[in-house]
Structure 1
Amino acid sequence: MSISPSFLDELRNRVPVSRIVGKKVTWDLRRSNQAKGDWWAPCPFHGEKTASFHVDDQKGFYYCFGCHAKGDALTFLRESDGLDFIEAVKVLAAEAGLPMPERDPAEAKKADRRSVLADAMEAATRHFRMQLGTGQGGAAREYLSGRGLDQAGIDRFELGFAADTRQGLLSALKEKGIPQDVMDEAGLIIVPDDGGTPYDRFRGRIIFPIRDARGRAIAFGGRAMDPNARAKYLNSPETALFDKGRNLYNVAAARSAVSRGAPLIVAEGYMDVIALSLAGFEGAVAPLGTAITEDQLRLMWRISPEPVIMLDGDAAGQRAALRLIDLALPMTGPGQALRFVTLPTGQDPDDLIRAHGAGALQKLLDGARPLVDLLWEREVEGREFDSPERRAALDASLRKSIALIPDEATRNHYTAALKERRFELFGGRRGAGRLTPGPRDWRGRRGQPEPARAQTRATPLGQQDAGDATLESMVLALCAAYPGLASRVESRLELLAPVDEGRAALCHDLLAGTDSAAGRAALARIMEDAYVRASPLIRQPQDAEKAAVVLGNILDKIEARRAAMAELSRAEAEIQGMVDEGLTWRMSESARARHLAEKPAIEDSTDLNEDRGALSARLASYFDTRRTKGGG
């Protein structure tokens, strides 16, 4: 139904936000200014004692300075009561004393027909509930009692029973004046194509009424009492009221519970939802005989930003989780996340609660894992990564999955999280795909350089250049100031490998997207560096592309310096009194490469250049000293 903006504006003008909000909060009258329509109260969304929730009637909005909830009267009704948009408009219209706008005639006809079908469904619900209390429903009552349901639980979920007769419901509804074509359209009976006698769709089954978000009975689920029945569970067919891929069992009650702070738990079936709800987990829902669909995901996210998917621990539960990964990734983003709980093998929520209590289930919920965990497990489970090709295949598969995520920030965080897991996988013990650095792997387990040997530390070659430290500071500061920049130079940043433990921790945080105390402390020290503070790119992080170019220039300098130092180290090992022409040529080539690196295409305005003759002077001094000592 389309609502004109002018009608919505009229509602907002007639109904102050404080009138709607005031039904849910207690105003702090000492802080509020009623005459000006300025109201303060403890926030109804995150349960606090201080009055940080502000309502401004003149501007027509509310805002919480604690949890940052904000919106107008319609938003408040939707968030606090779990109403959809049209329902919220109806409540506000009633509050304003305004009739809802006239509907389109064709739409009105469809709505009237749906209303007729809904009435038939309510009549069927009453019939099934009555049948459960008769002699024919004795076995069904025993089954429900064995599953821990008392009469209060049966009444709460309106459970019923369809007797094993061909026309029990058909006859009962005819007596109430409901036409056969309405029963057929509502999916309550089956009319044979050959013109045979119509008969009840549900026979010999426990009946679970399925209601939509508005509380209307739209379908039924039936569990067979006969263990040899061809289908253990049978659902209503799709009708004008019921689309099984767009609805969830218990959605109305769950939405109300979530609005009061309960988690949204997505279980597998009707009895799981009932067991969870009766144990105090009232935000439980279930799909309707199918795998979770895109529309059901969207419905879940309208109720809660982070539903918890509860899966059985068997193979079928794991397959369901893997299917959901590819469905959810193209839809995930800020405010649309999933977490997962896997039940012990062979147990459903009812078994777990009865065996170990609600506390055991709460412990599982507290340990619910994010979607990225399941994505990682899917890619590495049962696989070996003992060759570059297999690692490359893993990287390609992860990149393909991450590319499905539409939100850039979410993609970046997934990339960082998966890099962290990859680092842990390939940084552990040898075997099972976990590789250990060998004697030639100079970077070591954590990407750190091999500590300088005692005899090397004693020479000029073993001492860190002060200019390198400043350049290193600029690299880390730029990557910290521009999120996502580290991932663009990942391989080069890994090779940076700072010797200082704090900087090493910061480097790891930037690559993995983590946040460690050591990394934060190192960044604070770096930001005190005069050269870093003087950089416009650091003082006002705005031009990410220029920052990327400058970062590349600085890394070129660092790599050229290190290459020169490596040549010096090899020269120290090779010199035996006289310098041959080959060694001289290599040293000159190293100096030339460094000179080119010191002349980047774009420079930050910070003066980070050093005397380009310093290396030549250092070489000359070093070789003169060696000749003097060696007599060469």
Structure 2
Amino acid sequence: MSLPPGFLDELRGRLSLGQVVGRKVIWDTRKSNQGKGDLWAPCPFHQEKTASFHVDDRKGYYYCFGCHAKGDAISFVRETENVDFMEAVKILAGEAGMPVPERDPQAQQKADRRAQLIEVMEQAVQFHRLQLQTAAAAEARDYLARRGLDPAAQARWEIGFAPANGGALAHLTGKGIDQKLVMDAGIAAESDRGGPPYDRFRGRIMFPIRDARGRAIGFGGRAMDPNHPAKYYNSPETPLFDKGRSLFNHGPAREAAGKGYPLVVAEGYMDVIAMSEAGFGAAVAPLGTAITEDQLRLLWRIAPEPIIALDGDTAGLRAAMRVIDIALPLLEAGQSLRFALMPEGMDPDDVLKAQGVGAMQKLLDRAIPMVQLLWQRETDGKSFDSPERKAALDKALRDKIKLIADPSIRSHYGQAIKDLRWQLFSGRKPAPRKSGGGGWAPNSRMEAWKREISPVATSKASALGAGASAEDHLREAVILAILIAAPQVAPEFESALERMECRDPAHQDIQRALLRHLGATDLSAAVVQELGPDPLERVMGHNHVSISPGVRRASEPDVVRMCLAEEFAKLTARQGHAREIEDAVEDLGGVPDEGLTHRLRQAAALLDQAGRGDNEDKAEYELGANGARMKKDERNALDSLLEQINFGKGAQRPKS
């Protein structure tokens, strides 16, 4: 049954999702804020004791952070009452006092029209398949054989042929189909010279395009004439076909991705067919255009991190760069793209034929994240031998990162770009300059200067060293131990845990395990099951850990929260100071001056003091740019330092 436009919107607007869900759950009054429509409860869809099921009553959506169930009032009733869509609508309409409208003739007429067009398309598919077996299609069959498609593969993909003189229009109307339907389906078109309608596809190999439900909605035709100006030609926009919202091989790829195959986005039909035939079943292609926002959303519904496999030529690289600009504003946590660039002059089909399945698998395994391709676009072939050029690079990258709507992803992109920038510029070692008498070699003097500003006069404890200090190592252990000891509070610190930079690989393993199992009733058991007992025993074995108030008083949530907040703030402050010193040394490029030497010495001393002074007057503190608590004189020293590094003279420090 078709409902009139606006009915469902009005129904959702009249209902309170909190009231609908409230019949099935008991709200957690400690976490919920009824006044703001922010409601939490144990999830009704899976067994749990913690309140991980969230209802946003103002927006009308629910989401479970445990089992990832999500939806609106209609989907909630469908799942909990085990009814179909229309029955759920009727239940909710009764509660809202809205009569369910009678059958809408206009909506039904539109649905019937679509069904007729789909039937026309299916008959056109069969017509073109039969034409491929005729004598007129001998050249087309030879071409497909040269491309590695035997008759069985041609049948699997329902490949057909449109004769040079057409024939589809006459065939379909001869079977009693109205000529207007044939034209509305995009198979035929009106002549602009006033003549009779003509076949759109002539002298082409025909690839049927199906929607996610497997219904034929359009065609892609490859010209047999090598001199034809349009090598590939797609169906026009029709009531069935919107090329910007469709994907070639959508349905089979979605099914294959659900079985664990990587979702690969190629450029053309033959690439998709070649990859699928070679075992990469979750392959799709856009339809004659650059990837659109709607196609990206379709891809992310299939898999969270599709791989864009583009041709290894200039056009392929340009296409990849366009995808980046479209994708950046749409990024969400766990939802991104990776890029597998083919060897120069080759497409995926060429790679499979010339190098085999193993070579393609290696290219997909080595697919790079989007942030690296963004960096490559802004740096390849460019020289950054002056402060102005470095500043231009910073500005270009900042402008791109600003496009990202999600603040957490934006922060991670900023850090990744900062790391890549450090790698680029720290590798540029200036040649030593010679001087007659009192000259100096920049490299050797810079090393002495680093030692001078180090807070501890030993190389092991240098703030410029790559490893974390012993204090940072212990602080990481304390944070991890408190989270394990107090699982009821741990989910509240998910964002801070996610941002924490663990230098110890063992701590990194525990950090990742904790993030995967936050919300588990027995968090310790879940981590032990994944990593074994040894990593946790080593963390808990530190004397400093065992005496931490957050561990000793793990049953007191307020104490735990205060301890975790303090430990995260101290660790972030220390690591932030260390990075600022590293950036300063890198950007100075071997030309220190006394003023900056003094400021860096101050910053290094402040790094050594980070985490001290817990009993000092809190009025002396303010929040740093990274959210950590800093003493005001610490912040002032670092701010004045930052004016001369990272973002150029006169630039402002970016706000996190």
TM-score with structure 2 length normalisation? 0.59
Supply the distance in 1 between the matched residues of 2:497 and 2:336 (Cα, whole angstroms): 25
Larger radius of gyration: 1
Q: CA deviation at 1:373?
A: 1.0
Distance 2:160 2:498 in 1: 58
Please tell me whether the aligned partners of residues 478 and 547 of structure 1 are also in contact (alpha carbons under 8 angstroms).
yes
- Structure 2: gaps spanning 5 or more residues: 13-42, 49-64, 76-82, 89-99, 432-440, 462-468, 484-492, 512-534, 581-604, 623-629, 632-656
Shift of 1:259: 1.3
Q: Which residue of 1 aligns with 2:115?
A: 115
1:449 alignment counterpart: 454
8 Å CA contact 1:224–1:232 kept in 2: the answer is: yes
* Partners of 2:313 and 2:346 within 8 A in 1: no
CA contact (8 A) 1:341 1:364 kept: yes
Asked if 1:420 corresponds to 2:437, the answer is no
Q: Structure 1 pair 403/74, CA: closer, same or farther in 2 (3 Å)?
A: closer
SS of the counterpart of 1:601?
helix
After superposition, the C-alpha distances for 1:444-481 in whole angstroms (9 at most, x for unaligned) are: 88999398489xx9xxxxxxxxxx99899889989999
What's 1:275 paired with? 274
1:598-617 correspondence runs (5 A): 601-602=619-620
Identify if the C-alpha distance between structure 1 residues 551 and 205 changes in structure 2 by more than 3 Å, giving closer, same or farther.
closer
1:521-550: CA deviations, max 9, x gaps? Answer: 999969649789799999425997998699
For residues 146-177 of structure 1, give each alpha carbon's deviation from its aligned partner in whole angstroms, at most 9, with x where no partner exists: 00001110001100000000x51111111111
- 2:143 is matched with 143
Counterpart for residue 334 of structure 1 = 333
What amino acid sits opposite 2:370 in the alignment? L
Q: In structure 1, the residue corresponding to 2:140 is in which secondary structure?
A: helix
1:393 aligns with 2:416: no
Is this contact kept in 2: 1:291–1:320, CA < 8 A?
A: yes
Residue number in structure 1 paired with 2:256? 257
| Aligned equivalents of 2:246, 2:290: Cα separation in 1 | 12
Maintained 8 Å contact 1:473/1:526 = no
Match of 1:218 in 2: 217
SS in 1 for 2:244: coil
TM-superposition CA deviations, 1:35-76 (whole Å, max 9, x none)? xxxxxxxxxxxxxxxxxxxxxxx955589xxxx98367999x
Structure 2 matches for 1:401-420, cutoff 5 A?
A: 401-420=400-419
Retained in 2: the 8 A contact 1:550–1:602? no
Q: Given the alignment of the two structures, is residue 540 of structure 1 paired with residue 529 of structure 2, yes or no?
A: no
Distance 2:413 2:478 in 1: 22
1:340–1:369 Cα contact (<8 Å) kept: yes
Aligned letter for 1:141?
A: R
The residue type equivalent to 1:110 in the other structure is K
Q: 1:330-366: CA deviations, max 9, x gaps?
A: 1111232111101111222222112222111111111
Partner Cα separation in structure 2 for residue 393 and residue 290 of structure 1: 32
- Secondary structure in 2 matching 1:343: strand
Question: How far apart are residue 389 of structure 1 and its match?
Answer: 2.9
- Assess, with a 3 A threshold, how the Cα gap between structure 1 residues 526 and 174 changes in structure 2: closer, same or farther: farther
- Taking a change above 3 Å as real, the CA distance of residues 70 and 553 of structure 1, as seen in their structure-2 partners, is closer
- What CA distance in whole angstroms lies between the structure 2 residues aligned with 1:125 and 1:91? 34
Over residues 352-400 of structure 1, what are the superposed CA-to-partner deviations in whole Å (9 max), with x where a residue is unaligned? Answer: 1122221111111111111111111112112222233322322222222
Consecutive unaligned residues in structure 1, runs of 5 or more: 8-57, 79-87, 94-99, 458-467, 494-500, 511-517, 560-589, 610-632
Cα distance per residue 1:412-460 (max 9 Å; x no partner): 222222222122112224279xxx9745546888999398489xx9xxx
Look up the SS of the partner of 2:343 in the other structure. coil
Moved more, 133-142 or 371-380: 371-380
**Alpha carbons of 1:266 and 1:538: their partners in 2 closer, same or farther (altered >3 Å)?**
farther
How far apart in 2 are the matches of 1:91 and 1:155? 38
Q: 1:415 to 1:522 in 2, by over 3 A?
A: farther
SS at match of 1:227: coil
- The 2-side partners of 1:390 and 1:137 are apart by 58
Q: Matched residues in 2 for 1:284 and 1:134: separation? A: 30
Q: In structure 2, what is the equivalent of residue 156 of structure 1? A: 156
SS of residue matched to 1:384? coil
Q: 8 Å contact 1:248–1:286 — kept in the other structure? A: yes
Q: Is the 8 A contact 2:201 2:221 kept in 1?
A: yes
In 2, the alpha carbon distance for the partners of 1:530 and 1:218 equals 68
User: What SS is found at the alignment partner of 1:291?
Assistant: coil
1:291-440 counterparts in 2 under 5 A? 291-430=290-429, 438-439=443-444
CA contact (8 A) 1:62 1:71 kept: no
8 A Cα contact 2:183 2:189, kept in partner: yes
Contact 1:553 1:602 survives alignment (8 Å): no
Amino acid at match of 2:230: A
**SS of residue matched to 1:240:** coil
- Shift of the 140–552 alpha-carbon distance from structure 1 to 2, 3 Å rule, reads closer
Distance 1:144 1:527, change over 3 A: farther
Moved more, 110-119 or 186-195: 186-195
State the distance in 1 between where 2:299 and 2:269 align: 17
1:460 matched residue in structure 2: none
Separation of aligned partners in 2, 1:443 and 1:417: 29
Match of residue 70 from structure 1: 67
How big is the shift at 1:195? 2.5
Please tell me the root mean square deviation across aligned C-alpha atoms, in Å.
5.2
Contact conserved, 2:478 with 2:548, CA < 8 A, in 1?
no
CA contact (8 A) 2:451 2:457 kept: no
Distance in 1, matches of 2:423 and 2:475, equals 27
1:292 partner SS: coil
Amino acid at match of 1:540: R
- Give runs of aligned pairs for residues 195-234 of structure 1, distance below 5 A: 195-234=194-233
Rounded Cα–Cα distance in structure 1 between residues aligned with 2:479 and 2:558: 8
3-state secondary structure, aligned to 1:333: coil
Q: Partners in 2 of 1:404 and 1:314 — Cα distance?
A: 27
Q: 1:239, CA displacement in angstroms?
A: 0.5
Matched residue type, 1:449: S
Q: 1:483 to 1:422 in 2, by over 3 A?
A: farther
Q: Distance in 2 between matches of 1:314 and 1:223?
A: 21
Report the Cα offset of residue 407 of structure 1: 1.8
Which whole-Å CA distance do the structure 2 matches of 1:487 and 1:445 have between them? Answer: 31
Alignment CA distance shift 1:225-1:538 (3 Å) = farther
CA contact (8 A) 2:220 2:235 kept: yes
Pick which of 101-110 and 474-483 moved more: 474-483
Q: Partners in 1 of 2:544 and 2:323 — Cα distance? A: 44
Q: 1:486 to 1:445 in 2, by over 3 A?
A: farther
Q: Does the residue aligned with 1:312 lie in a helix, a strand or coil?
A: strand
Percent identity, aligned pairs only, is: 47
Cα distance change on mapping 1:379 and 1:61 into 2, 3 Å:
same
Q: Which amino acid aligns with 1:70?
A: C
Cα pair 2:129 2:159 within 8 Å, conserved: yes
Give me the whole-angstrom Cα distance separating, in 1, the residues matched to 2:207 and 2:349. Answer: 17
- Identify the residue that residue 126 of structure 1 maps to in structure 2: 126
CA contact (8 A) 2:539 2:545 kept: no
Q: Distance in 2 between matches of 1:297 and 1:452?
A: 54
Question: Aligned equivalents of 1:256 and 1:162: distance in 2?
Answer: 30
- Equivalent residue, structure 1, for 2:438: none
In structure 2, do the counterparts of structure 1 residues 408 and 155 end up closer, same or farther at CA, with 3 Å as the change threshold? same
Write the distance in 2 (CA, Å) between the matches of 1:106 and 1:443.
83
Indicate if the aligned counterparts of 2:550 and 2:564 stay in contact, CA closer than 8 A: no
Q: Which SS does the other structure have where 1:202 is aligned?
A: coil
Q: Give the direction of change, closer, same or farther, for the CA distance of 1:444–1:123 in structure 2 (3 Å limit).
A: farther
Distance 1:427 1:352 in 2: 36
